[in-house]
Amino acid sequence: MATATTHGARAHARAQQGARADAMPFVPASSWPTPPCEAGHLVWAETVAGGNYTHRVLARGTELRLTDLGGDACAHLLLFVADRPWERLNVADTVKVQWNAYLGEGRLLLSDQGRVLASVIADTSGRHDALCGTSALAWNTRRYGDGTPQSGSPAGRELFKLAAAKNGLAPRDLPPSLSFFQGVEVRDDGSVDFTGSAGPGASVTLRAEQDVTVLLANVPHPADPRDAYTSTPLEVLAWRGEATRSGDPLWEATPEGHRAFLNTTEFLAARGIA
């Protein structure tokens, strides 16, 4: 067997240099064939397979575009302040402070400190969810027969645990997540209808308003009624940009958003960042 010896294993590994799979990172990101930004500005370029995860630390002002390539991606998202992970995405505050449970262009992703972690600056999907969170081990085991990360039907929370560990975070650090590209609507009785996706090619673009650690799990939405574990590739592209500043329409869109941006700017200014 070619890999039965150290020399054989090394030769086999080196022979893979330059080979590419359909879902993997581009390193360097600048080698991505169709960058959506100025040359040299791309900092993250990756295709995440269905049932897989990724993570990255992004600088303030970075724009992050997620694209549902096949129409069945579901990007479950968590955000943490990069050097202060105890400040993290708070889905409840994101919903209640903005008086809206539905994500879309112009919405802000808030921490429990009343500060903006990211803003949604573009959206061609309109099918997102801030209510249901991601799937768990017990749910996927009951639904698909297994939910472990190495199985054919990994649960979102199990993948988040792996991504978290690679950023010095533990399972107790994982709050409820947001999901993009598979939506739900709330009925009058408080139950939810699964509305599915907007189809292949839909995208959403976020702007980091602080330095953030991004965790992404691409797994089926827990309300997806299909019997089969259905999850198609997610394209992830990020490039350097500028944070939202006073005078930007997003800053002034609502009194609540204005206050959140003021809280963020005051905090960053005290640290010599803004």
pLDDT at 20: 66
User: How far from chain centre, in Å, is Cα 56?
Assistant: 10
pLDDT at 267: 95
pLDDT at 251: 93
User: How far from chain centre, in Å, is Cα 229?
Assistant: 20
**pTM score, two decimals?**
0.94
> Would the pLDDT of 43 be above 70?
yes
Quick: pLDDT tens for 128-157. 999 999 999 999 999 999 999 999 999 999
Quick: pLDDT tens for 84-134. 999 999 999 999 999 999 999 999 999 999 999 999 999 999 999 999 999
For residue 74, give every residue at least 6 positions away whose Cβ sits within 8 Å of its Cβ, in sequence order, or none.
179, 180, 181, 182, 197, 218, 219, 220, 221, 224, 231
Ranges of each domain in the chain: 48-241+248-270
